[in-house]
Amino acid sequence: MSSAILVGEVCGEINRAKKTILPLPQKARGRKDHIRMIRSTIKATNPRQQDDDDNDRNDGRRRETHSGFRSLTWSKVYLAFAVGYLMHSMIDKITNLDSELSSTPQIRTASKNKRITNYVPSSCENYIMEHAVELGYDTFTNAINPSGCTIWKDVTATNTEIYNQLQSYSINLDKYNTAVRNFEPIPDLMIGIREGNYDVCSSTKLHERGLNGMFPSRQLSLTKSGYVEPLTPPMRSHKFCFNASIPNLMSLDYLVHDYEAMCRNLKPTSKRVLFDLGATLNLGKANGLPIMMQLMEEYEKFGFVFDHIYAFEVTKIDAQHIYENLLPAKYFASYHWINVGVNAEEGNRMNPINSILDKFDEDDFIVFKLDIDTASIEVPLAYQLFEGGKDGIFHRLIDQFYFEHHVHVAELRPFWGLQKNGRVHWNGTIKDTLDLFHGMRSKGIPAHFWP
């Protein structure tokens, strides 16, 4: 039973008691007064005592003391004092229970599928954000870049508690990824949602207790779209820290999605929309498929079938090659191949944020991925979303955001290399990217690092 329900029942009993227990005697000031009050109440329920009272009606003081109790039964007397004691002794437990339940999507979505509004980071993410400077994430030199892997390898980089939390989370994450891979695909969720049937959302569960059951370490962070992975360096799979292979570099196994919570946020009129800025379908392969295709396949497995996919790519690729060789036929009806570069200038028609994104509704389900490997364009676009647009509309529109923010981090520098013009891909510090992504989540955009 939630604390809200418990308090409601207790308050109901108090109100019912108030209707029967008329104005009580003056508040007892001590234990003796308290006992005297109870004794007077007991006398009020004794028929003989009531007869005595009838014979002594001229005694105004006794009439004032006892008249409010004559209609009481023994159970009501007990209830009046028991409720007071219960409220006093349980108030701390109720407060703690509310705090715990407020971070549980299963409880949150039970009330008309109302979205959460406040971001609740995990304890390990909180620690990283609060100690980013101590961890060296705010500095870099041209020759030396701070490590993003130390917190996963060295217990002294943080402390024993945080280190153990990260290790426990890693174990939970492995089990989560196994469950995702073994999950049997389900039908399009909108078939049920359009009929008002939100029971279909339960079919996305990986555990009977939801993601809480998958992650007993309790190191997931909570957004408006449900639980997500905590923000941690090296801004991709931590397994890359122990084996710097291409599969680990490009792996999506560090991402966590709460499909049940996302399902309960859908409306019968929702459109499901994917923006893919940097849509190189023949690059970035890991585990056999381009990583963007892997993400699309996972969403589809859990019943999220995109109605529109806007794919922007500046590299010229023949459309016939795209549709004949790279794109699965099942996406033909929804895939919009736009073989031009994007523009970061606000109001420019080639800025998808202005020309396409803001044409959708807050009830739509929108996924936005940004990875065009040009910092002068992608960083301003990311900050436009961060700033929110008119009345913060972008914060309410986007349900999932993926961005590869190129910053100075030792483990990734060898893989990012130089742009064609000889300039570096990266700009900024690990703290900069943590601040951006944590800030986006706090404003309502569930942001993820992209490999």
Do 384 and 435 fall within a single domain? yes
Do 66 and 211 fall within a single domain? no
Do 133 and 103 fall within a single domain? no
Query: Residue 95 falls within a domain, yes or no?
Result: yes
pLDDT in tens, 56-97: 444 554 444 444 444 444 455 454 445 454 444 444 443 343
The pLDDT confidence band at residue 415, using thresholds 50, 70 and 90, is: confident
| Range with lowest mean pLDDT among 78-92, 149-163, 348-362, 388-402 | 78-92
Do 133 and 85 fall within a single domain? no
Last residue of a domain, one of 65, 82, 108: 108
Quote the domain boundaries for residue 53.
3-108
**Which carries the bigger pLDDT value, residue 105 or residue 31?**
31
Q: How far is CA 422 from CA 278, 417, 425, in A?
A: 20, 9, 9
Query: Residue 350 falls within a domain, yes or no?
Result: yes
Do 348 and 377 fall within a single domain? yes
CA atoms within 13 A on the CB side of 304: 31
**Which carries the bigger pLDDT value, residue 283 or residue 77?**
283
Q: Classify residue 46 as left (phi > 0), alpha (psi -120 to 50) or beta.
A: beta
Do 99 and 171 fall within a single domain? no
The 3-class SS string of the chain reads CCHHHHHHHHHHHHHHHHHHCCCCCCCCCCHHHHHHHHHHHHHHCCHHHHHHHHCCCCCHHHHHHHHHHCCCCHHHHHHHHHHHHHHHHHHHHHHHHHHHHCCCHHHHCCCCCCCCCCCECCHHHHHHHHCCCCCCCCCCCCCCCCCCCHHHHCHHHCCHHHHHHHHHHHHHHHHHHHHHHHCCCCCCCHHHHCCCCHHHHHHHCCCCCCHHHHCCCCCCEEECCEEECCCCCCCCCHHHHCCCCHHHHCCCCCCCCCHHHHHHCCCCCCCEEEEEECCCCCCCEECCEEHHHHHHHHHHHCCCCCCEEEEECCCCCCHHHHHHHHCCHHHCCCEEEECCCCCCCCCCCCCHHHHCHHHCCCCCEEEEEECCCCHHHHHHHHHHHHHCCHHHHHHHHEEEEEECCCCCCCCCHHHHCECCCCCECCCCCHHHHHHHHHHHHHHCCCEEECC
Q: Please provide the average confidence, as pLDDT, over all residues in the chain.
A: 81
Do 285 and 356 fall within a single domain? yes
Last residue of a domain, one of 51, 78, 108: 108
Query: Residue 29 falls within a domain, yes or no?
Result: yes
- Cβ-based neighbours of 406, under 8 Å, separated by 6 or more: 373, 375, 416, 425, 426, 427
CA angle, 147 as apex, 242 and 149 as ends, to 5°?
A: 30
- Cβ-based neighbours of 338, under 8 Å, separated by 6 or more: 310, 311, 312, 313
Q: What is the pLDDT of residue 414?
A: 82
Do 103 and 145 fall within a single domain? no
CA atoms within 13 A on the CB side of 416: 21
pLDDT in tens, 224-282: 999 999 999 999 999 999 999 999 999 999 999 999 999 999 999 999 999 999 998 76
Do 372 and 319 fall within a single domain? yes
Count of domains for the chain? 2
Query: Residue 343 falls within a domain, yes or no?
Result: yes
Do 91 and 193 fall within a single domain? no
Sign of the torsion formed by the C-alpha atoms of 86, 91, 95 and 96: negative
Q: Hey, what amino acid is at 23? A: P
Reported pTM: 0.75
The answer to whether residue 32 scores a pLDDT higher than 80 is no
Query: Residue 115 falls within a domain, yes or no?
Result: no
On whether the CB atoms of residues 140 and 408 are closer than 8 A, the answer is: yes
Query: Residue 117 falls within a domain, yes or no?
Result: no
As a whole-number percent, the residues of the chain with pLDDT over 90 amount to 65
Do 136 and 273 fall within a single domain? yes
Do 130 and 88 fall within a single domain? no
On whether the CB atoms of residues 105 and 116 are closer than 8 A, the answer is: yes
Query: Residue 118 falls within a domain, yes or no?
Result: no
Q: What is the pLDDT of residue 140?
A: 81
Last residue of a domain, one of 48, 80, 108: 108
Tokens 């396949």 correspond to 297
Other residues' Cβ atoms within 10 Å of the Cβ of residue 72: 20
Average pLDDT (141-150) is 84
Query: Residue 340 falls within a domain, yes or no?
Result: yes
Tokens of 225: 């779209």
Sign of the torsion formed by the C-alpha atoms of 435, 441, 442 and 443: positive
What is the maximum alpha-carbon separation in the chain? 107
Tokens 């007064």 correspond to 33
